Structures are given as C-alpha cells and as structure tokens.
Amino acid sequence: MNRKKILYITALAVGLLSASCNDQFLEDKKLYGVFDENTFQNETQTGWFIDKVYYDYYYGYKSPGLNIVGLWEDRTGLTEEKGGMSNLINPTKSFETSDDCSQYYGAKLGTSATNSPYTRIRNCNFVINSIDELGTNVSASFKTTAKGQMYFLRAIQYFDLVRMYGGVPIVTTVSKATSEDESIKYPRRSVTDCVDQIISDLDSAATKLPNQWNAANYGRFTRAAALAMKSRVLLTYASPLYNKDWDNPANDRWAKALEAGLTAEKELTAAGYGLYGSSAKDWSNMFLVDNTFCKEAIMVKLLSPNTTVAENSSWEKTIRLSNQGGSGGLKAPKEMIDLFPMADGTRPTVANGYNDFKFFLNRDPRFYRTFAFSGCKWGYKSNPTATVWGYRWQYTASGKTAFGYSDNNDVNSPAFVRKMTNTAMDNVFEYSGTDIFEYRYAELLLNIAECYAVTNNIPKCIEYLGKIRARVGIPSANNYGIGTLADKYAAIEACLYERRVELAYEGKRTMDIQRWMLYNDDASANNNTCAKLGISPINGTSRTGHYLEYKTTLTSNTDPLASARSTISVDPDATPAVFAQSLQDLATFYEQNFVLKDPATPMDNDGLGKALKIGWKQRYYIWGIHRTALTANSWLEQTIGWLDANNAQGTFDYQK
C-alpha cells in the first residue's frame, strides 16, 4: 500500500507521524517541564518526538505560494504574480506601531507550549543537547541523524526569523521558563551573529545527514539540502537588504555565497542531483514525481490524496477553473502574461514580435506549462482531452445589458495558472496529493548565477543562466536569447528576471523582492537598488486584468462560439509542427471573435471598485516586534522604523 495512504503526512522533507503512535506521549511533550530520559526510551519513541517537531514546523504548508515556516500565509498577492490589494501594499493603509506588527515572533513561555518559533527552537535544542546523554537505548547512528535533522530545523527557523525581524535572540539551550533568571533575558543579536549561527547549524547538519535517505524515509532533510540551504542563506545575507556594501564586487559576503553555491553544486551533482529532464514537458512533469526520489527536488513537502487523516494539497483546487471542479482559477495579471520570453529567449517586445492580444504565440516553452488560456488543452483523469475556455459575451435582455461566460468561467484574465497541475487526477481536487518542491536544483544554479553577476563575472553568469534555459529547449543562439549584458547591473537584472520565469508561482518572488528591496528606492534608507539595476519600482504599479470578450453584442444569453470552438485545441504535448499550427489556428480564431476589455472592477481596488496602485513602505521590509512580545520581554529593542510598546521610536538597526 502507498505509504501516504496509511501515514499522516506532517512536514516538509518528511515528518511522518504514524496515526497509531502514542498520542499521550506526544501530548505530554507539549508541556515545558517534561523533557526527560523517557523521551529517548527507544528509537520508536524518539522517532515520534522528531516527527512531531517536523509536524510543528510544516503542518499547514499546503500550497507552493506559502513561505515562512510555521506561518504559512500566502504572500503571492504582494507580488506581480497575483492581483488583489493586500494590506501591506495598500497605499491607503499604514502600519507603524507595535500593535500593527506581526505576532509571528511569539510572546512568552508559559506552562503550556504554543507552536511558535522559539518553542520549535526549544524542541530542537532539547534533542541536540540531550539525546547523547539520555538516549541510552538509541543507537549512535540514529542519534547522529536525529541531531542532524534538528540542527537543520533550528537553522531554517532562525533564517525565517531573520527574514522577518533582522537580528533576534539566539538560544541554543533548554531553559526553565521563569521571570527571575536574568541569564535567560536574551537580547537581540546582530544579523551577522544570527547568520553565523545558522551556517554553523547547517554545517553541523551536513556532517550528520545522508545525501539521500532510503525509500521509507524519503523526504527527510539531507546533507544535500543543508549544503543548498547555505547557498540560499548566504545569498540573502549578501543581498542589499542586509548588506550596505552589496555593490562592491569584492564584498566578502558575495564571495562566501558563491563558494557555498559552487560547493553545493559539486556535491549535489556527485550525489545524483541535477536538472530534471531535457525538455519543457520534463520540466512540467517533474513536479508530479511523487513519493520517490526526483533529482531536482532538494527539499520536498510530502502531501497525500487520502480523504481522511492526511494533509492534502490546496493548490490544484485553487488553480482549476469552476467548470472543472476547481475554485475558479488563479488569474494571471497582464504583467505576468507579458513577462515570459519569446521562444528564442529574447524579451517579449514589439520589436521581437510580441503581440499582447495573441500573447500565446511564439513564447518560451515554459509559458505553455505555466499558464492555460482559452483554446488550450487542460484535462484531468475523467476528461483527459478537455479544452478550457474563459471568455465572455455581452447581451441585452429586457432592455438591460448583462454578460454571459463560457462554461460559467468568470475569469478577468485571458490566462490562468496551470503550473504544477496533475492531469492524471480526477476532479475531486481538494484531495490532491501533489508534493511541493520547496527547493529545486534550478534555484541553486540561479543562486550561483547571481553571485557571478554581482562579482562582475558576466560570462559565468550567462553560462549558468544558459543551463536553465537549455534544459527547456531554448536554442543557444545569442546566449540563449539573453544577448550581451552590458555590465554587472544588467547581469543581476537578468538573474532576477530568470528567477521570475523559472520559479514563478513557487513562493520565491516574495523573498527576491524583499532582499533586493524592489518595491521602492528610498535615499533616506540607503536604498537605490531599482535605479542601480534599471528596474522600475513596483510601487506605483498595479496588477492588470482583462476579459477576453466576444466582439458582437447579442440579444440572448447563449454562447455564440459553442459550435465554432469545437475544432480548436492547443496541446503543448503535440508534435512541434502540429503545436505550431494549432497556435496559429487559435490566433486566427481570436482575431475573428475576440477583443480584450477592461473589467468593471480592477484587479487592484479598494474593495469598493476604486483602482489602487501598490504602495509598500520601506519599514515593511523588516518587521518590528509586536507589543505582546515587547511587554513580556522588556529588554528587547524595537526595530528602527517601528514604534515600541511605549510609542517611542525603535533603536535596533538590522543592518549593523
């Protein structure tokens, strides 16, 4: 029987918690005073505890657009990938007080643990510090891998705390919760101190974990993942948000990030990791490699199709159109449709032959695997040849004007996301078991390319970007369409562009915007990265939607194309000649029947239909600490830019 059908899938990179394990034991471990030798009585019971730690970290990670361990909120709406005016980018809202801050940090320890960052760190500390002494019935090899997993988990929790707050207190021991012990009043440490701790933990994890686990333990954290995470952490640390000297090619942080990336690439390649496949079809299918080793998947969250106790993916249900049994689809803003390169790798400009009405012609092969659109094949198990349609028509009835929608699909974009979809699944999509690839080998190569760009090694930067493009079939001419990069700033921009395409809708764009501060330039905060890179700030822009609309106003609510469209179906899996011809046929069909129309309500609006433009504030890049935590831990400094519990200006500088 498939392991996923009988086990409770609990965490990224595994966390398998048997539904029949000792629930009372796990319940006891929620209390602060009960860490003792009974926890490590044997390997089975120790495994329960380890799996519960995984569970606490990663339960809720059900969609690739989520990030920040334990928080798992969807921040895709803060990027160009998805429309809708979230609070943090709403220009009519402003957050500055400690009451406005995220409560992710947590408040204080109590008699009963809550699943907050420092509780998770505490559980890791317990295993790291105690298993050798207390685990008398646990083998040495089990202890080693147990500690390796906990070092890894502690590292990624501190990494996410740094991403949220900058420097935070570093705690590596298990202390008794008390208000009287001055020694546990840990102050906020510098970002450098925190990164040093994170890298130390990842180094420790790398010495204790295998490059791959056996089939029964597939998904647990590995040595390969620890090496790759070093690359991600050090790349973030070298980026402008944390690094005032980022523009110096000789800056030591970039050198260390490059070294970590190259080391990871060498060791992961030797261990059997690499880019999966040699075509866009392979690129699409790799996301469906399920419950078994995939060479591209460095970190993976296991999910299950089980309809009872298992944790299911929410992605497939979200992105499928209404007539397919989905939630209505994830509508692609025009800014995303217009983003992807042409088939030869060049940018989509009029000069390069791009037409935003016939947007599907001659595009990067990844475009057809990332988006669906009216007239393309997008099936599922019981209807594998289904062709999707998402257009509307205007009609008049009883003197009133109204709209009808093809197959009842009311979608305010001519394209909708299909990436990471499973066409072999039937349309009960809420029980999708498609795993999430949290860290792919492609990201590692992009990390390396970016380091080469900043250090002004443009040929090597292009070489690594070329590896990403060659895999999906973009021809090598003109540097895979990248062309000649004039300087390091153009090279950095090329790297960020490639990340937007290759990693679209995988939850990475939020992190890239944050670490490069791409919402705005602000001289008072020493933020000029947009100007340096030649990128327009995101602030002042909006995500744009359009309806694909039938040209002629009708006199009844009847689909005017129900018959005419029956011969249309664009299938990216068809032979190249057939695929190319079907795209041309679809373009003719569009020209004959459709126009693009603005929706009555813009994608980005104030909730009452008024259009808004993105208005992010500089202080949002790094959050302040919430009042509850500041009050419970009065020695903690508030972040500069935020007000503390007494409404005084914060003093903690995360860039020192």
**How high is the pLDDT of residue 179?**
61
Q: What is the sign of the dihedral through the CA atoms of 556, 560, 566 and 570?
A: negative
Structure tokens at 30: 């929620």
Asked whether the beta carbons of 121 and 154 are under 8 A apart, the reply is: yes
Asked whether the beta carbons of 644 and 99 are under 8 A apart, the reply is: no
Smallest CA-to-CA distance from 159 within 126, 205, 127 is with 205
Smallest CA-to-CA distance from 467 within 447, 487, 485, 484 is with 447
| Residue 499 exposed, middle or buried by CB count within 10 Å (0-12, 13-18, 19+) | buried
3 state SS of 66: strand
**How high is the pLDDT of residue 28?**
47
Residue 376: enclosing H or E segment and its boundaries? strand 376-377
**How high is the pLDDT of residue 7?**
28
CA atoms of 218 and 216, how far apart (whole Å) = 6
Smallest CA-to-CA distance from 123 within 160, 153, 168, 143 is with 153
Rounded (5°) CA angle 155-160-162: 95
Location of each CATH 1.25.40.390 domain in the chain? 3-78+103-301
pLDDT tens-digit readout, 486-532: 999 999 999 999 999 999 999 999 999 999 999 999 999 999 999 99
Length of the chain: 656
CA atoms of 22 and 16, how far apart (whole Å) = 14
Taking domain 3-78+103-301, whether its CATH number is 1.25.40.390 is answered by yes
Which residue, chain included where needed, has tokens 């957050």? 95
**How high is the pLDDT of residue 33?**
45
Beta partners for residue 110, in sequence order? none
Which segments of the chain have a pLDDT < 50? 1-33
Asked whether the beta carbons of 547 and 602 are under 8 A apart, the reply is: no
**How high is the pLDDT of residue 9?**
28
